[in-house]
Amino acid sequence: MGIKRLHEQFNRISKNIAYQRIEKREVKDIIHNHFSFWSEPDHVNRQAFLEVLNRIAPAPAVIIETGTSAWGTDSTRIWDSYIRRFGGSFHSVDIRKEASADLFGQLSKRTNLHVADSVDFLERNLDLNADVYFLDSWDLDLNDPIPSAEHGMREFHAIKGNLKRGVILFIDDTPSFDFLKTMTLPSAAQEFVDKYGSPPGKGAFVKAYVDEKIEHKVLHHNYSWVIQIL
């Protein structure tokens, strides 16, 4: 590890020591503290996380995430805070080893970080039977939106058999049409809308499938898409 990375890691660990000292008794504390401390208070995903944690609290939960904390909401820390407080277990997978390395020494014993392709990981770990799946791996590139939507669909196919009543499916970067109006779309993204009749996104193909074939309730849809299986 180079000096710069070592210094950054030291800063993260020190910041985390301070963070863990803050009392987080309720979901609203977890959300408030996370978005003030690790993210931005008005982050576009704040409401979606609040919605999901409020729905599962105060029960222990099994949570699976694809795409460990990186250039996003720093989501791994939120799920970790939930199971620290309310119990359960949490697995997060990322194809880059740096994602888990950056979190080294900062998460609870109930959190398990894995380095693997997300689809392989999901296929091999069906027995985990998650209560919440948070899919946030292959980045959405508005100049080339299909690979991300296809990867999202492969992740969905891997877990489809586990989507029993009550399970929450939360896919990041899956904007609604209303949210899309706030975005400047490159031509490839507009072509996606014209061709598939839906905004581009990690969950674009999943949403099309689920809307047609799976009974569900929409818990939130803005920049991310969150549903509960009925």
Ligand X SMILES: C[S@@+](CC[C@H](N)C(=O)[O-])C[C@H]1O[C@@H](n2cnc3c(N)ncnc32)[C@H](O)[C@@H]1O
| Cβ proximity to ligand X, 76 vs 198, nearer residue | 76
Q: Is residue 73 near ligand X by the rule CB under 6 A?
A: yes
Q: Is residue 51 near ligand X by the rule CB under 6 A?
A: no
Among 2, 71, 127, 165, contact with ligand X (rule: CB under 6 A): 71
Angle between helices 27-37 and 3-21 (to 10 degrees): 150
Q: Is residue 74 near ligand X by the rule CB under 6 A?
A: yes
Q: Scanning residues 140 to 199, which ones bind ligand X (CB under 6 A)? A: none
Q: Is residue 80 near ligand X by the rule CB under 6 A?
A: no
Q: Is residue 69 near ligand X by the rule CB under 6 A?
A: yes
Among 82, 138, 205, 223, contact with ligand X (rule: CB under 6 A): 138
- Sign of the C-alpha dihedral computed for residues 51, 116, 200 and 34 taken in this order: positive
Total residues at interface with ligand X (CB under 6 A): 21
Rounded CA-CA distance 159/155 in Å is: 7
Tokens at 221, concatenated: 């849809």
| Cβ proximity to ligand X, 92 vs 198, nearer residue | 92
Cβ atoms of 68 and 76 closer than 8 Å: yes
Rounded CA-CA distance 33/163 in Å is: 31
Rounded CA-CA distance 179/170 in Å is: 17
Q: Kindly state the smallest distance separating residue 163's Cβ from ligand X, in Å.
A: 20
Q: Scanning residues 83 to 122, which ones bind ligand X (CB under 6 A)? A: 93-96, 99, 117-118
Cβ atoms of 65 and 90 closer than 8 Å: yes
Q: Scanning residues 10 to 39, which ones bind ligand X (CB under 6 A)? A: none
| Cβ proximity to ligand X, 67 vs 175, nearer residue | 67
**Given phi > 0 = left and psi -120 to 50 = alpha, else beta, which region is 16?**
alpha
**Which residue ranges make up the site for ligand X (CB under 6 A)?**
66-75, 93-96, 99, 117-118, 136-139
